[in-house]
């Protein structure tokens, strides 16, 4: 099978595992280890878990999240949020998240979570933010000790179904020099347009702060249009429904509508999460996911995990699935990775350093290994 860049696919899994990866769209409360959930539930007396052992619990999350409905998918978070209502729990899951991602070859990640969801046991918002930042710092150090270099940036998320977005936006600015790199809104899209939170976005723009918006996942083009044109989003969380603005001409060539052309031409990054999109019904299968068309048309597409627990996935797994479905080779995977690093919310010189010191050398080495294998020299 030949991919878009002309490479033979699929790429061997062991090479994908070793590839440097960049992750822009991953939820902290969607990536807990099943055993950690069980242990935290015991510590705090949380009694609503649907299973009592780690393998069964992992299977339940993946099955429940695969309902085909975004709203049903979001219900699974009741359990992960339920066991992360203390500073110690938040520190632990952030620490483990950094180490898990580093073990998967991720060299840079932006992890998002909603502080407002962790106040049930009396934590104040700054305590929540500081516990998570400390956990990520500990995880980065532990990963480095194990020979893995990773940097974590934090996105503070406000729930679009509530009205705390201005407070969370102010919190993201307050901590932006301590590891918080941006802001986001998340939750059910239908009936909760991003313009409900326009005050928060106007504040962030005045403060020269970065933000992304979940848009074009559970709802269509109007959500994407508002996120960009009214709110000024730097990136689109998912953005998969932008494909609704691409039609087919009589000669079968794609025709971009005004919004799709704007998104492509302005190089607005799309934080695409293939497995999650299939689970929520935003795409029918990996092979039919719009990422294939959007990559061919030159959109700034990035590959992400969304929720590693609910989707039973990792960055290695997402790239492996795309390589198998679309014939992507190492050149394609590097293209996705560079797109993501260019779109990160850290300063330009710091992005460039990761590109030149980790991503490009890493892929060059893997291409040499693959060439040796093809020539029978390994």
- CATH superfamily, with its number, for domain 13-373: Metal-dependent hydrolases (3.20.20.140)
| 241, two tokens | 């429904």
- For residue 4, pLDDT beyond 70: no
The reported pLDDT for the residue numbered 2 is 42
The reported pLDDT for the residue numbered 65 is 87
| 350, two tokens | 């710091």
Q: Residue 339's Cα: distance from chain center in Å? A: 13
The reported pLDDT for the residue numbered 5 is 46
The reported pLDDT for the residue numbered 218 is 73
pLDDT in tens, 255-312: 999 999 999 999 999 999 999 999 988 899 999 999 999 999 999 999 999 999 999 9
- For residue 378, pLDDT beyond 90: no
pLDDT in tens, 34-52: 999 999 999 999 999 999 9
The reported pLDDT for the residue numbered 1 is 37
β-pair type (246-248, 254-256): antiparallel
- Residue 214 gets the label, from left (phi > 0), alpha (psi -120 to 50) or beta, of beta
Strand partners for 211? 183
Task: Quote the DSSP letter at residue 188.
Answer: -
Active-site residue, selected from the candidate residues 140, 170, 189, 217? 217
Who's near 357: CB < 8 A, 6+ residues apart?
A: none
Who's near 163: CB < 8 A, 6+ residues apart?
A: 196
Counting Cβ atoms within 10 Å, is residue 12 exposed (0-12), middle (13-18) or buried (19+)? middle
- For residue 7, pLDDT beyond 60: no
Is 217 an active-site residue?
yes
The reported pLDDT for the residue numbered 9 is 60
d(CA 220, CA 56): 35
pLDDT in tens, 160-214: 999 999 999 999 999 999 999 999 999 888 788 999 999 999 999 999 999 999 9
The reported pLDDT for the residue numbered 73 is 78
Who's near 45: CB < 8 A, 6+ residues apart?
A: none
Mean pLDDT across 64-73: 79
- For residue 248, pLDDT beyond 70: yes
d(CA 322, CA 288): 11
| 351, two tokens | 């992005």
């Amino acid at each position: 099978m030949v991919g878009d860049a002309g490479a033979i696919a699929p790429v061997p899994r062991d090479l994908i595992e070793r590839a440097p990866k960049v992750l822009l769209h991953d939820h902290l409360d969607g990536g807990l280890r099943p055993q950690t959930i069980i242990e935290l539930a015991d510590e705090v007396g949380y009694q609503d878990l649907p299973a009592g052992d780690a393998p069964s619990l992992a299977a339940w999350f993946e099955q429940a999240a695969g309902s085909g409905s975004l709203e049903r998918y979001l219900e699974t978070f009741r359990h992960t949020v339920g066991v992360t209502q203390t500073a110690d729990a938040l520190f632990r899951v952030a620490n483990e998240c950094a180490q898990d991602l580093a073990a998967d070859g991720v060299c840079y990640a932006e992890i998002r979570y909603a502080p407002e969801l962790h106040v049930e046991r009396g934590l104040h918002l700054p305590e929540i933010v500081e516990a998570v930042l400390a956990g990520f710092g500990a995880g980065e150090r532990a990963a480095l000790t194990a020979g893995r270099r990773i940097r974590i940036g934090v996105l503070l998320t406000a729930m679009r179904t509530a009205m705390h977005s201005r407070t969370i936006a102010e919190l993201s600015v307050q901590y932006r020099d301590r590891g918080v790199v941006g802001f986001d809104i998340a939750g059910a899209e239908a009936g909760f347009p991003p313009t409900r939170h326009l005050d928060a976005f106007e504040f962030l723009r005045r403060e020269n702060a970065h933000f992304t918006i979940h848009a074009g996942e559970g709802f269509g083009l109007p959500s994407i249009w508002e996120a960009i044109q009214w709110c000024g989003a730097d990136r689109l969380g998912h953005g998969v429904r932008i494909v609704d603005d691409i039609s087919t001409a009589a000669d079968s060539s794609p025709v971009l509508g005004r919004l799709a052309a704007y998104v492509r031409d302005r190089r607005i990054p799309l934080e695409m999460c293939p497995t999650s999109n299939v689970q929520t019904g935003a795409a029918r299968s990996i092979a039919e996911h719009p990422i294939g068309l959007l990559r061919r048309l030159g959109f700034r597409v990035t590959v992400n995990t969304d929720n590693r627990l609910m989707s039973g996935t990792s960055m290695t797994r997402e790239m492996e699935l795309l390589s198998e479905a679309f014939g992507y080779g190492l050149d394609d995977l590097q293209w996705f990775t560079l797109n993501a690093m260019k779109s990160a919310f850290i300063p330009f010189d710091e992005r460039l350093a990761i590109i030149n010191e980790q991503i490009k050398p890493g892929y060059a080495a893997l291409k040499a290994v693959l060439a040796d294998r093809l020539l029978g020299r390994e």
